[in-house]
Structure 1
Amino acid sequence: MRKRLFALFYLALAVNCQIFAQSPAESGSAVTIATFTKAMERNPGFMTYYWDAKKGKIWLEIDKFDTEFLYYPTLAQGVGSNDIGLDRGRLGQEHVVKFQRSGPKVLLIEPNYAYRAISNDPLERQAVNESFAKSVHAGFDIVAEENGKVLVDLTSFLMQDAVGAVQAITRTKQGTFKFDPSRSSFYLPRTKAFPQNTEFETIITLTGDNPGAFLREVAPTPSAITMHQHHSFVQLPDDKYKPRAFDPRIGYGGIEYFDYATPVNQPIMKRYISRHRLEKKNPSAAVSEAVKPIIYYVDPGTPEPIRSALVDGTAWWNQAFEAAGYKDAFQVKLLPADADPMDIRYNLVQWVHRSTRGWSYGGSIIDPRTGEIIKGKVTLGSLRVRQDYLIAQGLVGDYASAAAPSSDPMMQMSIERLRQLAAHEVGHTLGLPHNYIASTQNRASVMDYPTMVAKVKGASIDLSDAYTKNIGEYDKWSIRYGYEQFPAGADEKKALDKIVGDMHKAGLTFLTDQDARPEGSAHPGTHLWDNGNNAVDELKRVSEVRKIALANFSEKKIPVGTPMAMLEEVLVPMYMFHRYQVEAAAKVVAGQTYANALRGDGQSVLSTVPVQEQKRALDALLTTIDPAFLALPKSVLTLIPPRPFRYEPNFREVFKRRTGITFDPMAAPEAAAGMTLQMLFNTERVSRLVAQSALDPAQLSLESMLDQLLAATWYKADPADGYQAEVKRLTDKLLLQKMIDLANNQEATSQARAIAGLKLSQLKAKLNGADANSKLAAHHFFALDQLRRAEGNVADIKPTNPQTPPDGAPIDPGQEWLAPACDWRP
């Protein structure tokens, strides 16, 4: 009996303990928020939260259900590697979300704004809402409530890898990492509540095995990567913003969605631009101050004179807003010392440090419902300016003595570049993508990628006009399109169409990334890092600059006291000075001129580049694989010794080598010749050559291009100079491999492969008839062996992996907006 009583007693005790262990919601008790949070720190704001210091938790008070707000994560403190891309200030994806209660739970739900019905009929809207998936980002148990408000534990939602750092490390093959909660916590100095936004910051640690080289380079202990991640809950704008329609003839990023309420005879896809909200104080005035100006704040941690350059370049945009009818509507200030850069109220230009030079970024947080820009954010890499200075050093540097040289031209060029870079990246945050055709229109846009304009003056180089010093003419038209306020009652569509038409009359157009990328794109005037209105003429001019730079190259390009081996860093951009103009000229071959034309707008739609211009381009490109062009001056080869102790070479900045620690005199010619051939043998380009000559037999054909390449290499006698002769033989082999690759390239058209095979057969016949005892016997034997293997099993070919040029980009702006390197976010 006593045993049964003790058993019943312990059972009752266990039940009571279980009840006490339950949450208030589970037990059904009505615990108030005030009671539950009595010992916690209350932080009132847009979303009031409580800090529980004893448990290290954040408790969120929810007083509005089914009310949408904006959530987005950012990276407040980064990893410092451009290659991984986890930079300080990196923006995550924004989400429109809302809290929805279901009994004792609260869900954080994201509606699907990609599919809508813009209709007054609730049933029509409901049909669309129920047809597509939503996303639930998190679920929370209610722990306390009072007066319609509830309290939930937000800790687990905040304590996660919200920006996808693990995926970034995995994608860049830097090891296998995971989030480690035991080494992660809240960072209270950046956890704050403001009237329009509530901000939370966490210290996040990822742990893993086998960290890659990029991580080993930047982390003190590469197996533990710690960064700060930030979460923003932001009040959405009111409904007074009016979206503006997108026009493909003038560049803007933005939003797009399906509108299922659209009549069948109209496009169902709706496209609108991204822009800041801007309104005139006096809408009827031609020029008026803004109700609320757009203000950008520059990171005060930027050193001088760089800081002033960033302020000046950012302020250029006021010129464009003046053209759109505003007075002082765009302003630039230093970020106040007590301001939080994560605060949604501050458009920010931030100075970021990395271990290597890397891309700069211009992105925005937008309202996904309308396209309205809520916050602009620019990230500028600090090492970029050093690369610009290095290029100027190679072009005009003259360290004649131990005393400081007259560095004005070098520093002045670097400062001018920074102004242009700041303007470029801020332009992205105003909604603008790249406009890569602007360089052919008198440098009409800061949204192009410019290289410095180096001019030949006798036997020297002049950099006084290296970069533009103001906003471009195209930029004014684009800001007019996005921000101009039209009179009451005006037909906005007609007014916008007139802006585009007037822009075209001024000789300005828009083409962007898809039209400009070096591999595969076809437009002859749309390129990255080029200048001039004609790619072929500019290649010739740039080649002359390169020739003078190499002729003037001496030990005076580095300061006294610098290891002589460091001359190679200055040499690389001089030797490769033509690289981007080669890309531009190659796109003339099989090029097509076109516009983003609309029916009835009067623009020329499409035409093939005339045959004479294509032949001029090919001739200019052939000069870049000539041995005399490729061979380094022998005086330069005697200046560069092996690297001294603790000055290990960075092969992203210098030429790779096959000669051990010594400078390889063949590496630079191999990289440069390979670059030209790579462009000419682009799969899409050779396929277009076949197509254009089929449509017009007078056009440049693939047969003709291959014949001219063979005539310039294999069928041409070796130079008398032994070094140049070896460079020619190297180029011969590079061409041979490219032709074999084309003949076996399943992505090319069958006719392109057939033509390559025929030309290889003709080369083989010629080599078989050559003198087997000549000094070229080894060269010919190698080629015949490669051809024999190609006729059997192409997998038997074991080509020497061609050297590639050291990294060129980024020497100039920006983030690619189609890829992580340069993907800018609208």
Structure 2
Amino acid sequence: MEKRPGFLTFYWDAKKGKIWLEISRFNQELLYYPTLAQGVGSNDIGLDRGRLGQEHVVQFQRSGNRVLLIETNYGYRALSLDSLERRAVAESFAQSVHGGFEIVAEENGTVLVDFTPFLLQDAVGAIQAIAQTRQGTFRIDPNRCALYLPHTKAFPQNTEFEATITLTGDAPGPYLREVVPTPTIVTMRQHHSFVQLPDLTAPDAYKPRIMDSRSGYFGIDFFDYASPFSQPISKRYIARHKLQKKDPSAAISDPVEPIVYYMDPGAPEPIRSALMDGAKWWNQAFEAAGYRNAFQVKLLPPDADPMDVRYNLVQWVHRSTRGWSYGASITDPRTGQILKGKVTLGSLRVRQDYLIAQGLVGSFDTNGADTTEAVQMALARLRQLAAHEIGHTLGLPHNYAASVNSRASVMDYPHPQVDIVDNAGNPKLSLANAYTTEIGEWDKVAIAYGYQHFPKGANEKAELDKIITNYIRRGLKYLSDQDGRPEGGAHPQTHLWDNGTDAVAELNRVMQIRHIALNQFNEKKIPVGTPMANLEEVLVPLYMFHRYQVEAAVKVLGGLDYTYATRGDGQLVTQVVPAQTQRQALSSLMNTILPTNLVLPEPILKLIPPRAYGFNANPREVFKRRTGITFDPLGPPEAAINLTLRLLLNPERCARLINQQALDPQQPGMSELVSALMGQAFGMRLTGQYNHSDQIQLLLRHKLVEGLIGLATNKDTDARVREVAHNGLMAIKKKYLRGRSTEVEYKTELQYRTSNRNPGYLHWMIRQYEQNPQQAPVATTALVAPDGAPIDPGQEWLDGCSWH
């Protein structure tokens, strides 16, 4: 057999296709984690190239002629020098055995085991991921699995194994059919890494740093049963790389060992250079924290293995559809030390950014076009994206409150900033300031908290408190994922994909930008020779350009300003958004469902034909429709109406409105919200002509009634919310649906549809709801907006970015 010496020495038996592992490190902890080396290529399933699995601190333990691979339970421990106290905790909680092996040979305390079955398992949970996304029931086919030798290697500090894994199943779902050549057979490569853990007893050992809720860090948490009962049992450490100064006494010093990130050479130019430029921004933050050349970015050497734990990697990944990018890390579960940063960047995002720029400023004349502005915007977005995802691998979560401080953090989700330039009364759009070009002030604060070196004898907790106190005094803000989400979110300044200090003022400005862009939309938005039907893909992000600012402004309504305050730090704890500000938000939101703002200009409708044979559109990238192959002029307005109504009639938001008004009668309540919606939908008389605007008005009425019935019949909704929704329906019936269709005859559909006296369908819906609320009429399937977030990809993956 061929011997491969290293951290874990193994032998390759070519005749039997087996790997025999040599084990001499008994009862010594090491780190094990699986990785997906070759992905499936579907953003929806999530099985991407480079996907990291969970870390496990394991050790080999011998019992007779068997060896067990046992995981230590570090979620529960005792930080005590008393071995009996530590033993009591260890024996109180379960462990996990990841593998069992029969000893086939032994020599001088070293044993040999067949490691092949362990390596030929579904270690990354691909079967589960396929099942969870409803893509079929699959199982491993052992006859179609084998070890993959090119990426099976032993290094001094880690040993890497890789295997080709084949899953077979029946009735594969559409995502699999889209990316797998034979969808019933899914073959991928899964990787297993065994890594030497840092020595916690070494003189220069990594020192954990305590997490503060205001610090802006991911981390680890565990129960410490050695804690005095008068102190919290839960302990938290931040996640960070190990970084030390060569000269601890110097204000600015080179590091003992820099943090180096390596760029995937598979990223083409000019994309590669843009990504490397954005990644290098982090050196600005480390310089501000007292380090020189502490953060470096290099191209991955040709002979380097990207799976080697010694390489922090920025990987360029291809999928069949655009999707999220990720920043993940391999972390020591004992201390929070980051051992390897791994960034996954989806290759199709840049095309969507270019498409957005194309729609905003593009103009393709007969002889070509100057695409410089669009290209520069797309590359600027890539720089910001690289910095953002690397920030996750440095230990930082999102900071969705940074945009109110002049884009103070790359850890926010940035919407492109579009400026309106007045050109002699002819407004034009500019992308010159679309994205930031450097690291943010908040990012410098966060890096200082995590990585700054303090002089010998200094009180580290006091020094860390100073960093937090200083940023609070400067007016910087930090709020993260749960605060930024639009559904149920309440903070008036913490949003995804927004700009500016005032969400409502920015919504008004964005609506103006949208109006200019739609008025300037014509066939020159696509190059000569492009199918005219492709104009729809360019139209989608323009028509829905306001979608994320709607999500931001709606949180002002029923909003609550707050911080991650701790006792004594002087920060605002909670404060209800002023009533006037809430009513301004409601007024601006009503403007987003005004038919005159939603109607598509007739010239645009005439530009979009059905698709040519063999050139079908990606259904994710175009508006949903009810008209078959022809473009549906009511599809985009319905998507926009559904967006605003869904957010305004969110049950949690409605409950907050009721509670706020109960405490302060001057505040707008849910009844005021429903009244505003009723006035918008029914207060405006129809023109009496069968036109686009009237149809949108009727559509708004239908959607409002459906939304109120949905609220009133939702058993999980606050009873007071259901009551207000019910009262709204009764008010609509009494005030706006007073006519009786049986007494009026209409000669044409036009007269019937546009009459304000005829109750028709809406009256029938409300009557059905009254007679049997539990069997209320089912709402029409909503035409939702095409995939948009993150202003690039479609699928909402919880955080959008992930961290392990």
Decide which of 198, 207, 219 is 2:180's aligned counterpart.
219
- 2:715 equivalent to 1:746: yes
CA distance in structure 1 between the aligned counterparts of 2:685 and 2:492, rounded to whole angstroms: 33
Question: For residues 72-471 of structure 1, what are the structure 2 equivalents within 5 Å?
Answer: 72-239=33-200, 240-403=205-368, 405-458=369-422, 459-471=427-439
Determine if contact 1:815/1:824 at 8 Å carries over to the other structure. Answer: no
Decide which of 490, 504, 517 is 2:458's aligned counterpart.
490
CA offset at residue 756 of structure 1? 1.1
CA distance in structure 2 between the aligned counterparts of 1:229 and 1:331, rounded to whole angstroms: 29
CA distance in structure 2 between the aligned counterparts of 1:815 and 1:356, rounded to whole angstroms: 10
CA distance in structure 2 between the aligned counterparts of 1:620 and 1:67, rounded to whole angstroms: 63
Decide which of 518, 531, 535 is 1:563's aligned counterpart.
531
Q: Specify the code of the residue in structure 2 equivalent to 1:407.
A: T
Question: For residues 393-792 of structure 1, what are the structure 2 equivalents within 5 Å?
Answer: 393-403=358-368, 405-458=369-422, 459-719=427-687, 722-770=691-739, 772=741, 773=744, 775=752, 776-777=754-755, 780-792=759-771
CA distance in structure 1 between the aligned counterparts of 2:297 and 2:363, rounded to whole angstroms: 36
CA distance in structure 2 between the aligned counterparts of 1:609 and 1:536, rounded to whole angstroms: 12
Q: What is aligned with 1:825?
A: 803
Secondary structure in 2 matching 1:787: helix
Determine if contact 1:588/1:613 at 8 Å carries over to the other structure. Answer: yes
Listed one character per residue, the Cα deviations across residues 296-323 of structure 1 (whole Å, up to 9, x for unaligned) are 0000010000000010000000000001
CA distance in structure 2 between the aligned counterparts of 1:288 and 1:380, rounded to whole angstroms: 32
Q: What is aligned with 1:33?
A: none
Determine if contact 2:416/2:434 at 8 Å carries over to the other structure. Answer: yes
Q: What is aligned with 2:789?
A: 809
Determine if contact 1:249/1:509 at 8 Å carries over to the other structure. Answer: no
Determine if contact 1:424/1:813 at 8 Å carries over to the other structure. Answer: no
Determine if contact 1:421/1:814 at 8 Å carries over to the other structure. Answer: no
CA distance in structure 1 between the aligned counterparts of 2:571 and 2:167, rounded to whole angstroms: 54
CA distance in structure 1 between the aligned counterparts of 2:728 and 2:700, rounded to whole angstroms: 17
CA distance in structure 2 between the aligned counterparts of 1:797 and 1:409, rounded to whole angstroms: 50
CA offset at residue 780 of structure 1? 2.4
Stretches of structure 2 lacking an aligned partner (at least 5 in a row): 745-750
CA distance in structure 2 between the aligned counterparts of 1:187 and 1:75, rounded to whole angstroms: 13
Determine if contact 1:481/1:496 at 8 Å carries over to the other structure. Answer: yes
Determine if contact 2:7/2:159 at 8 Å carries over to the other structure. Answer: yes
CA distance in structure 2 between the aligned counterparts of 1:335 and 1:655, rounded to whole angstroms: 41
Stretches of structure 1 lacking an aligned partner (at least 5 in a row): 1-39
Secondary structure in 2 matching 1:356: coil
Query: Which TM-score applies when normalising by structure 2?
Result: 0.96
CA offset at residue 796 of structure 1? 4.4
CA offset at residue 402 of structure 1? 3.9
CA distance in structure 1 between the aligned counterparts of 2:679 and 2:795, rounded to whole angstroms: 40
Determine if contact 2:377/2:434 at 8 Å carries over to the other structure. Answer: yes
Determine if contact 2:712/2:725 at 8 Å carries over to the other structure. Answer: yes
Q: Specify the code of the residue in structure 2 equivalent to 1:130.
A: E
Secondary structure in 1 matching 2:370: coil
Listed one character per residue, the Cα deviations across residues 201-227 of structure 1 (whole Å, up to 9, x for unaligned) are 001110110011100100111110111
Decide which of 20, 24, 28 is 1:59's aligned counterpart.
20
Secondary structure in 2 matching 1:327: coil
CA distance in structure 2 between the aligned counterparts of 1:813 and 1:466, rounded to whole angstroms: 18
Secondary structure in 2 matching 1:326: coil
Listed one character per residue, the Cα deviations across residues 34-63 of structure 1 (whole Å, up to 9, x for unaligned) are xxxxxx000000000000111110000001
CA offset at residue 386 of structure 1? 0.3
* Distance change in 2, residues 1:383/1:815 (3 Å): same
Secondary structure in 2 matching 1:350: strand
CA offset at residue 822 of structure 1? 2.2
Listed one character per residue, the Cα deviations across residues 103-156 of structure 1 (whole Å, up to 9, x for unaligned) are 111000001100011111111111101110111111110000111100011000
CA distance in structure 1 between the aligned counterparts of 2:794 and 2:138, rounded to whole angstroms: 29
Q: Specify the code of the residue in structure 2 equivalent to 1:95.
A: H
* Distance change in 2, residues 1:193/1:664 (3 Å): same
Determine if contact 1:434/1:447 at 8 Å carries over to the other structure. Answer: yes
Decide which of 773, 778, 794 is 1:798's aligned counterpart.
778
Determine if contact 2:10/2:22 at 8 Å carries over to the other structure. Answer: yes
CA distance in structure 2 between the aligned counterparts of 1:251 and 1:746, rounded to whole angstroms: 38
Determine if contact 2:323/2:795 at 8 Å carries over to the other structure. Answer: no
CA distance in structure 1 between the aligned counterparts of 2:144 and 2:589, rounded to whole angstroms: 56
Question: Which structure would you say has the larger Rg?
Answer: 1
Secondary structure in 1 matching 2:159: strand
Moved more, 721-730 or 301-310: 721-730
CA offset at residue 770 of structure 1? 3.3
Determine if contact 2:43/2:795 at 8 Å carries over to the other structure. Answer: no
Q: Specify the code of the residue in structure 2 equivalent to 1:802.
A: A
Cα RMSD of the aligned pairs, angstroms, is 1.3
CA distance in structure 2 between the aligned counterparts of 1:761 and 1:814, rounded to whole angstroms: 38
Q: Specify the code of the residue in structure 2 equivalent to 1:216.
A: R
CA offset at residue 813 of structure 1? 8.9
Query: Which TM-score applies when normalising by structure 1?
Result: 0.94
* Distance change in 2, residues 1:815/1:421 (3 Å): farther
CA distance in structure 1 between the aligned counterparts of 2:147 and 2:761, rounded to whole angstroms: 64
CA distance in structure 2 between the aligned counterparts of 1:504 and 1:814, rounded to whole angstroms: 35
CA distance in structure 2 between the aligned counterparts of 1:401 and 1:568, rounded to whole angstroms: 20
CA distance in structure 1 between the aligned counterparts of 2:278 and 2:448, rounded to whole angstroms: 19
CA distance in structure 1 between the aligned counterparts of 2:527 and 2:759, rounded to whole angstroms: 46
- Share of identical aligned residues, percent? 61
Listed one character per residue, the Cα deviations across residues 481-519 of structure 1 (whole Å, up to 9, x for unaligned) are 000000000000000000001111111121000101110
Q: Specify the code of the residue in structure 2 equivalent to 1:791.
A: E
Q: Specify the code of the residue in structure 1 equivalent to 2:153.
A: K
CA offset at residue 823 of structure 1? 4.7
